[in-house]
Chain A
Amino acid sequence: MIHKHLIILFAFMISTSFSFAETIFGSNGIGFLDRNEGIRSVGMAGAGLSLTDSAYFHFANPAGWYNVGKTRYTISTTLVRSYASDETGTDDLDEFLFPGMALSVPIYHNYALGLYYKPVSDYNYLLIGQSEWSPKYPIDDSDTLSYKDRLQGEGGLSKMGVNLATKFGSTSFGIASDFYLGKLDNLRIIDFDDDLFSLSGRSERRELSGFGIRLGLLSDLPGNTSIAATVSLPAKLNVSTVIQYEAGDSLKFDDLDYELPLEFGIGFSKTGNRLRGVVDAGYSFWEETADSWDSYSDYINTSRLSIGVERLPLRGALDPWYEKWLYRAGVSYDEHYIELNDNKLTIFRVAAGAGIPVKSGVGILEFAFTLDFRGDESTIGAKETVVGINVGWSSMEKWFERKQR
């Protein structure tokens, strides 16, 4: 049985290369940040730093991983439809993605180990313009030549990590080591309509690698209340750049290093009889990293706020099936770390979701629906509406099981 699950995991690891979602705002810096921190959190618009339920994964809070009784893994997939518009018109896009995966293993007493993969940013753009060029030395009275000018960017940053968490009393602590890997490709191609002309072009590939530390704390307080705090220490990203000219030279050199910012997050949750309210807030000091980035200096500090609510299930044997499900919803506000057209890009999200326990103890099937509103045409010059349908599976296996204490 184990080997079959490993095959599935392997397949999903391969598929993670398709975890980048396209967005018109992913053309700067290291791209558009992916704030989807696990499918349960997605269903509450990103809130969930202070949740401690053992059936979920806490990508955002290293302390949340302590509560592991059995080996668990989570995988999810997302169907995205995006609508973008600016002064040039409108466009839409359908994508099928694998946003991330994780595995957690109980190791010793209150200690638990987590392994995860998750996209950090999505970098992409594609512009194909038709232009004309007047040669200085025209031949055959061809005063102008038409060509396609293709500008393309692709890539992003991902992280793989190891998370260690434990609990002392009512407070759990966690530390996560993030290993960053990524690439940012920029391509320019000139393609004449006349087939007798060859393509010219230059591609730039920046390969990123780095290491970061995140710390988390999660404490249960009296009155079914819990609080959480996280800090992400600044992470240095080493950058190696390779420039390749079409049918020409290949140059390789080390760039200025990039840096991911110092980030703070706090969370609060209050659980009632059937309802749980969750609030998260965060702040990122991007401006402190600006000097480390080559030509892109208009970085801004960003803040975010997520508010979510979750309806808890009934567990009675005779309760109807729909009462055994978890229902959740949330709204959030987030900011992009680069000013676009001298204005701040804001992202609003409305989300709803459900969790369906399957065969008590085996796992939970998760659904989440998200609706993102990014930017606006009056300030940024462009806007994007993104509809996401997420399906995930959080499984509990008996490969490694913590002894009952």
Chain B
Amino acid sequence: MSFYKRAGTPASFNPFLLILPLSILMILSGCAQYDNEVGGSLVDNEVTGELKDTLFQVDRVAMMTRGDLVKLNAANIPLGIQEELTSDIVLRFTEFNALGDTILEWRSGTLKLFGNGFVDSSETFDPASWSAVVYRIDESWDPIELTNEDTLMMTPLDTIEFITSDPFDSVEVSIDTLTLKSWVEDTLAYGIRISPLPGAGFLKNFASRLASNAEKLPVLKIDATFRKGEETYTDSVVTIYSDVSSFLTSDSFQVAGDRLYVGAGYSRLMLFHTDFSTLLSNTVSLNKVEVFVHTDSTAVGMLGETNIFTVAQIRYGWSNSDPDTTTIGSSSSRLFNVSEDTSLVRLDITPLARLWVAEPDSNYGVAVRSFNEFTTIGRRAFYDNSADSLLRPVFRVVYTEFDIP
């Protein structure tokens, strides 16, 4: 239907010509409104409400330990002991196709690791030598779940000494032919764990399988005679690259009494819960809910700090004694930093708390995690419920309480 009269046709009224301006006028009229306070004294039907704020003490708190998944992606793998932290290295080699179909003679095997600096180069390291034991792992293990505390069936292969503080020197470990045979012929390639012996004075980084410099990747060089197809390779040195190169830290961090940790790379989360049932959903509308946590600045981690945090909903019940079984939801998009002039971190959980007020059964608490949990290595200590009252974690709630209808 055209808005215009076609030439030669009789004029007729088109109702759409009327509807268009009416629509415009309707839109304009919908915007009309008194916008000052005139007549305010006449309003009798107002919804009355009062702004309030309160503190909720944390009634349940725990630290959740997740697997060391992130360490599989680390560019550096530290080895050594520094202060309270011990770090082992684990390596696994499983791709032996380069050795052909049949090994005719084993000659030697050498594991080579390339130094890549120190975890904390600002420290003055004890130049005294220290040692680490190289173990052959004799059982299968899950690189995602394995932690420093886990014990494995292992056989010592060698002891290596660190006699210099050169950050970029390399380490060579001789692998015996029995071990090589079990890995290649018996397909029992469970890998190697290198553990520092007591007395180690610093943490040294080695390039991992993800290092940017391909010449510094951890490698296993095998000198052998083998047959590949119809051809025999005599006294050939084959380079095998690792498919797992990671590290296991003790993560004990016992610096100043009980603390909670948030770890990046270590994947440690803090879990908090409080009871919001006194905030009734039929009278209360939340303005802001924050979790206040204080960092313990005296507890400085050797593998770096994490200073940016985020929060996530806890989806299932948990207890103080067994927090690792619960499930954590996806993280909030908001990030929270440690205050520059105080140790306080304010974690805004308003959307989550609103859900708890509307659906109290969904309140399993909130998890605090590092924003860099999957990309960097670091940790941060926080005071827990046993700390001084000013340093304990607490929920601060600002809300509007309306009259009961």
Seen from chain A, the residues whose Cβ lies within 8 Å of a Cβ on chain B are 4-5, 7-8, 11, 15, 18, 22, 24-25, 27-28, 82, 84-91, 93-98, 124-129, 133, 135-137, 139, 147, 151, 153, 184, 186-188, 190, 192, 196-204, 241, 243, 245-249, 251, 296, 340-341, 380-382, 384
Contacts and interface: CB of A to CB of B under 8 A. Distances in A.
Contacts of B348: 196
Interface string B345-387: 0101011001001100000000000000000000000000000
Nearest to B292: A139
A310 to B, nearest CB: 29
Interface in B12-53: 13-16, 18-19, 22, 25-26, 28-30, 32-49, 51-53
B135 interface: no
Contact of B286 (A85, A97, A200): A200
Interface of A is mostly: strand
Contacts of A147: 51
Contacts of A197: 287-288, 398
Contact of B37 (A127, A153, A241, A247): A127
B405 interface: yes
Contact of B32 (A85, A94, A204): A94
B396 interface: yes
A202 B47 contact: yes
Contact of A18 (B13, B30, B282, B287): B30
B285 A245 contact: yes
A86 B36 CA distance: 11
B162 interface: no
A27 B287 CA distance: 27
Given A93-B32, A382-B41, A196 B281 contact: no
A27 B42 contact: yes
Given A188-B49, A248-B281, A201 B400 contact: yes
Contact of A15 (B13, B26, B35): B26
29 contacts: A4-B14, A7-B16, A8-B19, A15-B26, A22-B33, A24-B39, A25-B39, A27-B39, A28-B43, A28-B45, A90-B38, A97-B29, A125-B42, A128-B35, A136-B54, A137-B53, A137-B55, A184-B45, A190-B400, A192-B287, A198-B288, A198-B350, A243-B282, A245-B282, A245-B285, A246-B285, A248-B286, A296-B44, A296-B45
Contacts of B18: 8, 11
Given A22-B33, A198-B351, A241-B405, 20 more contacts: A4-B14, A11-B15, A11-B19, A15-B22, A24-B39, A27-B44, A85-B38, A91-B35, A93-B32, A124-B33, A125-B43, A128-B35, A135-B53, A136-B54, A188-B48, A190-B287, A198-B286, A204-B47, A247-B354, A296-B45
Nearest to A81: B32
Contacts, number: 193
A113 to B, nearest CB: 24
B141 interface: no
A247 B40 contact: no
B189 interface: no
B22 A11 contact: yes
B18, B34, B55, B350 interface centre (most CB from chain A within 10 Å): B34
Given A84-B34, A133-B51, A4 B400 contact: no
B284 interface: yes
Shortest Cβ-Cβ A-B pairs, 8 listed: A24-B39, A200-B285, A188-B47, A249-B281, A96-B29, A200-B400, A247-B354, A91-B36
Contacts of B54: 136-137
Given A96-B25, A200-B399, A151 B46 contact: yes
A93 B40 contact: no
B402 interface: yes
Nearest to B13: A4
A153 B29 CA distance: 17
Nearest to A4: B15
B35 A28 contact: no
Contacts of B48: 188
Contacts of B396: 137, 139
A56 to B, nearest CB: 22
Contacts of B37: 88-89, 127-129
B22 A95 contact: no
Contact of B15 (A7, A18, A196, A381): A7
Contacts of B402: 188, 202, 245
A242 to B, nearest CB: 10
B42 A381 contact: yes
A87 B50 CA distance: 26
A247 B53 contact: no
A73 to B, nearest CB: 13
Contacts of A95: 29, 32
B303 to A, nearest CB: 32
Contact of B49 (A8, A24, A139, A190): A190
A196 B39 contact: no
Nearest to A88: B37
A7 B1 CA distance: 14
A382 B39 contact: yes
Contacts of A27: 39, 42-45
A247 B29 contact: no
Nearest to B341: A140
A11 B18 CA distance: 9
Contacts of A151: 43, 46-47
B190 to A, nearest CB: 52
A15 B4 CA distance: 25
Nearest to A3: B15
Contacts of A82: 34
Contacts of B45: 27-28, 125, 153, 184, 186, 296
A126 to B, nearest CB: 6
A248 B49 contact: no
Given A86-B38, A89-B38, A126-B33, A136 B53 contact: yes
B44 A86 contact: no
A247 B44 contact: no
B288 to A, nearest CB: 5
A71 B26 CA distance: 28
Given A151-B46, A190-B400, A204-B405, A86 B287 contact: no
B38, B48, B402 interface centre (most CB from chain A within 10 Å): B38
A341 B14 CA distance: 52
A88 B38 CA distance: 6
B39 A135 contact: no
Contacts of A341: 41-42
Contacts of B282: 243, 245, 248-249, 251
A87 B40 CA distance: 10
Contacts of A201: 285, 400
A248 B34 contact: no
Nearest to B400: A200
A24 B357 CA distance: 36
Contacts of B46: 127, 151, 186, 188
